[in-house]
Amino acid sequence: MDALLAGLKGAVDTLGATVLLPIVIFIIALVLGAKAGRAFRAAVTIGVAFIAINLVLGLMLNSISDVAQAIVRNTGIQRDIVDVGWPSAAAIAFGSSVGLWVIPVGIAVNILLLVTRLTRTLNVDVWNFWHFAFIGSLTVAATNNLAYGIIAAALMAALALLFADWSAKAVQKFYGVPGVSVPHLASAQILPIAIVLNWIIDRIPGINKIDISTETIQKRFGVLGEPVILGLVIGLVLGAIAYYNLGDFGTALSKILQTGMTLAAVMLLLPRMVKILMEGLLPVSEAAQEFVRKRAGDRELTVGLDSAILIGHPAAISSSLILVPIAIILSIILPGNRVILFADLAVIPFIVAMTAPLLNGNVFRMVIVGTVTLILGFYVANALAPLFTSAAVASGFAMPENAVQITSVVDGFLWISYVVVKAVESLGIAGLALLLVIIGAAFWAFRRNTAAWERAAGAEDEAEAVRAN
């Protein structure tokens, strides 16, 4: 069994997300009844779209990383907990003892919840099962019990499906991606925080009237408010903050202008790449709906994808770029913080993108929610760093030079990681049972009052239609 699981994990590692996803999509489309030719074309188109999205994201992430690291150097701060980035966290997760089990466990949980009608999401984003394995590996580090880690990973696979169902209508409406949901823990975990903060902001006179969305900016400033120009302006400002002190004026100006043009390109290109993805996904979504209609009437089925499909919206990019210097400032001023951000500053778009539907793309509110989420995340990271480091060592990860402990924004900053690990560490099997009851109750509550949950997540029109029926 271990050899089989190791082979499966090795295949996932070797193929990578952009090859694995089209294969999974093709197989699923055939199972759902799509014609072989149409299924093959859809799978290849989706694979190409994700390669294109990753190319543009890579352009953005490299630019933001360079800017962020320059700003960090300018501050001169030193900390003993080093942010090693999400690729390292993924390697640690898949390299852990839980990583061997997470793919079959994640698939089994999805099938079980689909068969029992507790979820409507078919999660094809197998690569991102590493998020489940990561929390499982922290659980093993805390308890030295592999079974606890596997159960924790299974519960996270279920929780990701709940978040996906909850936010699906709002995501589809706001981002224009029909038939899609996002079972991505690192992105969805912000939803409860955003709902609470949005409720508070709505009750603060004056503040509740502030609406700085990319649409209102474009209406007010015309061409100067278009996303591509907005990306240019934000890039120039970030570049100036990062490179003002290079010494050589020509080099500094070149860096600033390059940052501006890079982020302008990202603002223009990412939404177009997502359109290619949707072209490929449409036949699969149609086959899924037809498959379900024949067997379960009007029941809806959504295809669960990586939150990378959400990053292209101007509100997501704008708010996350503003949050980069804020995150660095927080790392300096927060009392007791030992974390220095480095590699993962560039993934802030993934952290805030899911708030856009709930907050109607209001960049002002997205920045507030993102700031509070980061503050909470810093203290989570400080608390979990010893376990993160232990899990890394156990998986054979090479520690960075001069780093006493390590973390990452994805998933070391997540409140979910802290709650799960501390519950199991404190209560053992009773903690896992408690988490199972809570997640099960959440599924039950969602099914009982889907409209209210979706309305809370930002899908007002769709939720009202569900309630009317």
pLDDT in tens, 9-51: 566 666 666 777 788 888 888 887 888 888 888 888 888 887 8
pLDDT of residue 80: 80
Convert the pLDDT of each residue in 239-249 to its tens digit: 888 888 877 78
Instruction: Say whether pLDDT at 468 is over 50.
Output: no
Q: What percent of the chain has pLDDT over 90?
A: 30
Convert the pLDDT of each residue in 302-351 to its tens digit: 888 888 888 778 888 888 888 888 988 898 899 999 888 776 777 888 89
Domain range holding 180?
2-58+72-468
b/e string for 288-318 if b means 16 or more Cβ within 10 A? Answer: bbebbeeeeeeeebbbbbbbbbbbbbbbbbb
- Distance, in Å, from the CA atom of 443 to the CA atom of 435, rounded to the nearest integer, reads 12
Residue 396 phi/psi, 5° resolution?
A: 85, 20
- For residues 364 and 325, which has the higher predicted lDDT (pLDDT)? 364
Q: Measure Cα distances from 287 to 32, 181, 247, 301, 372 in Å.
A: 6, 16, 59, 10, 41
Instruction: Say whether pLDDT at 461 is over 60.
Output: no
- Is 66 within the bounds of a domain? no
Mean pLDDT along residues 211-223? 72
Best CA proximity match to 406, nearest among 371, 379, 381 = 381
Q: Who's near 298: CB < 8 A, 6+ residues apart?
A: none
pLDDT of residue 416: 94
- For residues 9 and 419, which has the higher predicted lDDT (pLDDT)? 419
458 contacts 174 by C-beta, under 8 angstroms: yes
Query: Dihedral, CA atoms, 112, 114, 119, 124, nearest 10 degrees?
Result: 100
Convert the pLDDT of each residue in 59-72 to its tens digit: 777 787 788 778 77
Mean pLDDT along residues 160-167? 94
The number of folded domains in the chain is: 1
- Is 447 within the bounds of a domain? yes
5 contacts 87 by C-beta, under 8 angstroms: no
- Is 67 within the bounds of a domain? no
Mean pLDDT along residues 352-380? 93
Of 17-21, 133-137, 265-269, which gets the smallest average pLDDT?
A: 17-21
Mean pLDDT along residues 155-181? 91
On average, the pLDDT of the chain sits at 83
pLDDT of residue 56: 79
Convert the pLDDT of each residue in 105-119 to its tens digit: 998 999 999 888 899
Instruction: Say whether pLDDT at 465 is over 50.
Output: no
- Is 64 within the bounds of a domain? no
pLDDT of residue 244: 82
- For residues 177 and 469, which has the higher predicted lDDT (pLDDT)? 177
- Is 191 within the bounds of a domain? yes
- Is 169 within the bounds of a domain? yes
Instruction: Say whether pLDDT at 221 is over 80.
Output: no
pLDDT of residue 89: 84
- Is 63 within the bounds of a domain? no
- Is 65 within the bounds of a domain? no
Would you place residue 437 in the very low, low, confident or very high pLDDT band (cuts 50, 70, 90)? Answer: very high
